[in-house]
Structure 1
Amino acid sequence: MAEWATRGVTLLPLGVRFDAVRVPASRIHSSVCSEDPKTVAAALDDWLCGPVVRDLRASSGDYYVLVAPGAEWHGEEQRLGKGSFLVIPRIGNLSMITHWVVPPRHPGNLCSTARLRALLTLADTLRTVEP
Structure 2
Amino acid sequence: MDTELQRAVSQWLAETDPRPDRVWAEWEKHGVALLPLGRRFDAIRVKADCVHEAVGSDEPHTVASALETWLAGPVIRDLRSGIGPYYALAAPGADRDGPAERLTTGTYLGVPRPGHATTLSRWVVLPQHPGALCDSRYLRALLATATPLRTVGP
What TM-score do you get using the length of structure 2 for normalisation? Answer: 0.81
Structure 2: tracts of 5 or more residues without a match: 1-23
Structure 2 residue 85 is the aligned partner of structure 1 residue 62: yes
Matched residue, 2:25: 2
Shifted more, 5-14 versus 33-42: the winner is 5-14
Q: CA deviation at 1:129?
A: 2.8
Structure 2 residue 104 is the aligned partner of structure 1 residue 91: no
Structure 1: tracts of 5 or more residues without a match: none
Of 34, 48, 65, the match for 1:11: 34
More helix by share: 2
- Report the identity percentage: 54
Matched residue, 1:123: 146
- Measured in 2, the distance between the counterparts of 1:76 and 1:36 equals 22
Structure 2 residue 96 is the aligned partner of structure 1 residue 78: no
Q: CA deviation at 1:59?
A: 4.2
What TM-score do you get using the length of structure 1 for normalisation? Answer: 0.95
Q: CA deviation at 1:130?
A: 2.7
Structure having the higher Rg: 2
Q: What per-residue deviation string (whole Å, max 9, x for no partner) do you get for residues 38-60 of structure 1?
A: 00000000000000000112442
For the aligned residue pairs, the C-alpha RMSD in angstroms reads: 1.1
Matched residue, 1:106: 129
Matched residue, 1:27: 50
- Measured in 1, the distance between the counterparts of 2:135 and 2:95 equals 10
Letter in 2 for 1:20: A
- Measured in 1, the distance between the counterparts of 2:42 and 2:146 equals 22
